[in-house]
Amino acid sequence: MLPLARRVAFLSRLRQTINQSGALLRLSYPISIAASGSRSLEAVDNAGRPGPPPIQVGLTASAGRGIFASRRITSGDLIHTASPVVCYPSLATVHSVCYFCLRRLSNAGAELRASQTVSYCSDKCKDLSKAFRQVESSADWSAHDEYCRLQGLKYPLLVKRFACMVLAGEVAANYLDILQPAPLSSGMISEMEKGYHLLRNGFKEADIRSEQMSFLTKQWYVGLLARIRINAFRIELAGGLYEDLLSLATASVESEAAVGNAVYMLPSFYNHDCDPNAHIIWLEDASARTKALRDIEPGEELKICYIDASLGCDVRQALLSQGFGFHCNCDRCLSGD
Ligand SMILES: C[S@@+](CC[C@H](N)C(=O)[O-])C[C@H]1O[C@@H](n2cnc3c(N)ncnc32)[C@H](O)[C@@H]1O
């Protein structure tokens, strides 16, 4: 994360660029255009049911699978939306956002919420949480969650929720196996040991039968964390009130507060570029919206930026190599920008 002063300096450069050129869309920063009023490309059939988005998953030359345009996409279009397979609030926001969709809760009732374990923005979210929450609340997670808090870990919380969803019969234990896993060193795997035992013990002490828990092996735990490491998104809500590119970018850059983390299916197939042609944003909740940052031709690969694109070339390369295990060969990196 950039220090605030540098982020603000970057923003004022961004503001100048926009003011000078009047060109809102061709920016080497992963920001979106108007949050509201953009054209959605999710076709609708005669019965009004949503059709497929204008993209398909295919093989790239050197980056594994990727997402390609199946027809022309215009700058600013909403390409598709996606709901999380699994999400979890940040420990810092657990009392201020909906436990299911991560929508910010109003300040009214904040005191009451602090005394409750979790809160929801609506009866619908409460209902949708019912099954996994029943499993989760049958156990005492204080040791597990405290471990995450002390170590600053967020991904074991996603694994905990996913395991509760599996036990509740909501999802198959191997549902996320299709996603690419991060390569893990033996040191990284042994660091996961403690979280694994805390998770297993939580369920064991809650009298979950061992045959129900047969999926919960160390190998399953490590495999899921390896996939989450590469594919989880950190969610920063932009809010629904922003009318233009600049205010949305400002909100996203100035807000340090992530409301949580989530893993999606389709968004996990986007490869990275430091000058991306697509961007994923979150407005009010964990529902992800992919938008085009410029015109995209049929067959062209759609790419997002995994990191803060305002960072220098060396820092970007280091983050991508450590966090995602690849060397970026995009045009920007090749030109040393
Ligand atoms: C979120 S996944 C993207 C989908 C992935 N290509 C797949 O086949 O599932 C991220 C991984 O894709 C690969 N990747 C993404 N962008 C890349 C790029 N620009 N160059 C090389 N590899 C890339 C890296 O292995 C990275 O860890």
Look up the ipTM and state it: 0.99
* Average pLDDT of the residues of the chain: 85
229 in contact with ligand 1, CB cutoff 6 A:
no
- Is residue 292 a contact partner of residue 76, using CB atoms and an 8 Å limit? yes
By C-alpha distance, which of 125, 70, 57 is closest to 266? 57
Rounded CA-CA distance 101/93 in Å is 12
Mean pLDDT along residues 233-242: 77
Q: Which of 34-43, 252-261, 264-273, 298-307 has the lowest average pLDDT?
A: 34-43
> CB count, 10 Å around CB of 293?
27
Return the ligand 1 atom nearest residue 60 CA.
6
Rounded CA-CA distance 230/51 in Å is 28
Return the ligand 1 atom nearest residue 324 CA.
27
Q: Ligand 1 atom 27: the closest Cα is on which residue?
A: 324
DSSP lists the bridge partners of residue 281 as 289
pTM: 0.84
Q: What is the dihedral of CA 179, 165, 171, 131, to 10 degrees?
A: -150
CATH number assigned to the domain covering 4-83+232-334? 2.170.270.10
Q: What are phi and psi for residue 266, nearest 5 degrees?
A: -55, -50
Rounded CA-CA distance 158/161 in Å is 5
Task: Work out the percent of the chain whose per-residue pLDDT is above 70.
Answer: 78
For the stretch 71-90, pLDDT in tens is: 999 999 999 999 999 999 99
Mean pLDDT along residues 211-229: 97
- What pLDDT does residue 44 have? 64
Q: Ligand 1 atom 9: the closest Cα is on which residue?
A: 180
Pocket test for ligand 1, best of 324, 331, 334 (most atoms within 8 A of CB): 324
Instruction: Give 5 Cα–ligand 1 centroid separation in angstroms.
Output: 31
pLDDT bracket for residue 112 (50, 70, 90): low
Domain spans of the chain? 4-83+232-334, 86-231
To which H or E segment does residue 142 belong? helix 142-151
- What pLDDT does residue 333 have? 95
